[in-house]
Chains A and B, each alone.
Chain A
Amino acid sequence: GENVEQHPSTLSVQEGDSAVIKCTYSDSASNYFPWYKQELGKGPQLIIDIRSNVGEKKDQRIAVTLNKTAKHFSLHITETQPEDSAVYFCAASKHNDYKLSFGAGTTVTVRA
């Protein structure tokens, strides 16, 4: 089955700086890569996703890049703000399978 590895497990950044989280996947058939933000005691919230036919996608301060050859994808958050503090999960799934395989999560802390 699919194995998704996520690094780092914790990340502390100064407000205004950028944060980068990296994930690798094992199954070359995976073609959908969402990122979720989870605040304490709440369900995960989809913040951005990318399909395998696209190399990069951006939504305001958030961007995701995908390298299919190397089987890795990354989340970039620019101009971080205290409200960006949360746990972020990457995931991967295959077409017509729909089951998500999650990374272990990254706890991001933005220092004011």
Chain B
Amino acid sequence: GAVVSQHPSWVICKSGTSVKIECRSLDFQATTMFWYRQFPKQSLMLMATSNEGSKATYEQGVEKDKFLINHASLTLSTLTVTSAHPEDSSFYICSARVPGGASGGTEQFFGPGTRLTVL
């Protein structure tokens, strides 16, 4: 399957600082990427849809000024958690939609995730 990478795999930061997480599609171009948040022993919660060259679409209840998303190229989307606080500690996972393909462009492949811990 298609390969999606994330960097960093984990990060620890102090409260009030900003953290940037990168999501890359390694062997395909992704016009659409998605950002999810997952708390321990829970399911994935979609935060936003990132479209190359346009503004991200945020899900209800997700603060767009706190979670800044940039999708400047067909292979890179970034999520910046601004002024992070302990309650932002979570596992952040991105996915990329594979255009075309056997499932008509609906397949999503996920990155390995980024564990954010805010002290």
Contact = CB atoms under 8 A, between A and B. Distances in A.
Interface stretch (A11-19, A62-70, A78-86, A102-110): A102-110
Interface size class, chain A: 20 to 34
A32 B97 CA distance: 13
Interface in B60-103: 93, 95, 97, 103
Contact of A102 (B44, B97, B106): B44
B97 A98 contact: yes
B43 A34 contact: no
A100 B46 contact: yes
B109 to A, nearest CB: 6
Contacts of B1: 46
Given A44-B44, A93-B106, 15 more contacts: A32-B104, A41-B113, A43-B4, A43-B6, A43-B113, A46-B107, A46-B108, A46-B110, A51-B103, A98-B49, A98-B106, A102-B43, A102-B44, A105-B42, A105-B43
Interface of A: 32, 34, 36, 41-46, 49, 51, 89, 93, 95, 98-100, 102-105
